């Protein structure tokens, strides 16, 4: 019988990505809505790691299941790493949308010229995933995806800052990539790939279960 793992997020975009990336593992991925959980965890941490742990532990305690959470953000060099852990709450307006956050970021970048010879402002997405077990153990993994912020939006896929995050190797923004490509190269994909060894070990997945 597959081991149950709660995907500890209410963000539908993140949830779909995590489900797709882990689809080949012998896990029964459980969503909060399936357990009647409507848990909102305040992200009071000062780092991605702290926020990921806060969410994973809260969902594990509420459900009694191993719970996987992530915290991620966009870091722009010329802004000293902003928006960072505040990426989801960056725009200083109530009920800001993803489009509002993208617009605010580009307004913040406007006074800074794009470096000569580069397609945009150097930046990276960073993600930390945390696995919390009901007995209290916590396991962490991290992934990053470098790229550039460009001045105009491109693409219809993804969410968040994806339409202005440009990947030179593909000559596309993250939002222009097919989901199967994004789920191979994104910061979240890389963090989850790094988490696979401890997912297999601590969730007692069979040692001969296939890995990509």
Distance CA 12, CA 30 (A): 13
Distance CA 5, CA 134 (A): 11
Q: Is residue 211 part of a domain?
A: no
- Residues 124/83, Cβ–Cβ less than 8 Å: no
Query: 67 pairs with which residues across the strands?
Result: 6, 132
Q: Is residue 208 part of a domain?
A: no
Specify the range with the lowest mean pLDDT, choosing from 9-13, 153-157, 200-204: 9-13
CATH code (residue 150): 3.90.950.10
Q: Is the pTM of this model over 0.75?
A: yes
> Which position has the higher pLDDT, 197 or 171?
171
Q: Is residue 196 part of a domain?
A: yes
Q: Is residue 212 part of a domain?
A: no
Q: Is residue 129 part of a domain?
A: yes
Q: Is residue 209 part of a domain?
A: no
Q: Is residue 59 part of a domain?
A: yes
- Residues 119/148, Cβ–Cβ less than 8 Å: yes
Which entry of 24, 70, 71, 98 is annotated as an active-site residue? Answer: 71
What average pLDDT does the segment 184-201 reach? 92
Angle at 145 between CA 118 and CA 153, to 5 degrees: 55
**Could you tell me which residues are annotated as the binding site for substrate?**
9-14, 72, 159-162, 182, 187-188
- Say yes or no to pLDDT of 182 above 80: yes
Query: 68 pairs with which residues across the strands?
Result: 7, 131
- Residue 97, domain extent: 3-202
Q: Is residue 156 part of a domain?
A: yes
**Could you tell me which residues are annotated as the binding site for Mg(2+)?**
42, 71
208 is catalytic: no
The number of distinct structural domains making up the chain is 1
Query: Given this model, what pLDDT does residue 1 score?
Result: 61
The predicted-structure confidence for 16-72, as pLDDT tens digits, reads as follows 888 888 888 888 888 899 999 989 898 899 999 999 999 999 999 999 999 999 999
């Amino acid at each position: 019988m597959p081991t149950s793992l709660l995907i500890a997020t209410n963000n539908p975009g993140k949830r779909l990505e995590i489900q797709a990336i882990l689809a080949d593992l012998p896990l029964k991925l459980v969503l909060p809505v399936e357990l009647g959980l409507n848990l909102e965890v305040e992200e009071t941490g000062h780092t991605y790691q702290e926020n990921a742990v806060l969410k994973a532990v809260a969902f594990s305690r509420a459900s009694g299941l191993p719970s996987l959470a992530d915290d991620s953000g966009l870091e722009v060099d010329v802004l000293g790493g902003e928006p960072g852990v505040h990426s989801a709450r960056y725009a200083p307006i109530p009920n800001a949308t993803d489009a509002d956050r993208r617009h605010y970021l580009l307004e913040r970048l406007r006074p800074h010229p794009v470096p000569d010879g580069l397609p945009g402002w150097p930046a990276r997405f960073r993600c930390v995933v945390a696995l919390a077990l009901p007995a209290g153990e916590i396991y962490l993994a991290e992934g990053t995806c470098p790229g550039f912020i460009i001045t105009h939006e491109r693409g219809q896929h993804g969410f968040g800052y994806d339409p202005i995050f440009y990947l030179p190797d593909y000559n596309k923004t993250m939002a222009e990539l097919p989901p199967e490509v994004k789920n191979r190269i994104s910061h979240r994909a890389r963090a989850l790939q790094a988490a696979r060894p401890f997912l297999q070990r601590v969730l007692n997945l069979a040692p001969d279960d296939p890995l990509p």
